Amino acid sequence: MSDSPLESLLGALDKLDLDGVLELMAPDCELLTVDGRRADGADAVRELLGDFVAALRTTAHRVTAQWQQDDVWFAEVEADYELQDWTQIKALPRAFVLRTGPQGISSLHAYGAHERAMGEHAAHLRDDVRIGGRWIAPM
């Protein structure tokens, strides 16, 4: 088993175990999501992650590269999601920056890319990527 707090967090998230995720977080933690939402403090992080988990049937994350500098962990990840409506979104590139402190994970920033050729972008949002009902900006 890895000692990476990021792998522990993603493991709990892939089980859709919100309590398990929050056990890893410090009381004053902060979260920044791929779609730009921010939560400060464990209660706000629980609410934001709860909305995310509620939209999912399953999720899987594969760490493709990871390194650590002092109390900061960096990772490149591929994420798969199956939404409640059975929509499957596969192999989305993600980057995570996670900071740890004496009480657990103090900050998690998630970044993503959903590259498509400029000519492939639909004129209507119905064709764009949505997670939890929120439109994910292509850039």
Quote the pTM value. 0.80
CB 61 within 8 A of CB 79: yes
Q: Which fold has domain 5-113?
A: Nuclear Transport Factor 2; Chain: A, (3.10.450)
Q: What length does the chain have?
A: 139
CB 37 within 8 A of CB 115: no
Confidence of residue 131 (pLDDT cuts 50, 70, 90): low
What pLDDT is recorded for position 3? 87
91: left (phi over 0), alpha (psi -120 to 50) or beta: left
Partner residues linked to 95 by β-bridges: 76, 111
CB 22 within 8 A of CB 45: yes
Span of 4-8, 27-31, 63-67, 111-115 with lowest mean pLDDT: 111-115
Mean per-residue pLDDT of the chain? 87
CB 73 within 8 A of CB 96: yes
Give the position of tokens 């939402």: 37
pLDDT of 136 above 90: no
Q: What is the pLDDT of residues 60-75, one digit of tens each?
A: 999 999 999 999 999 9
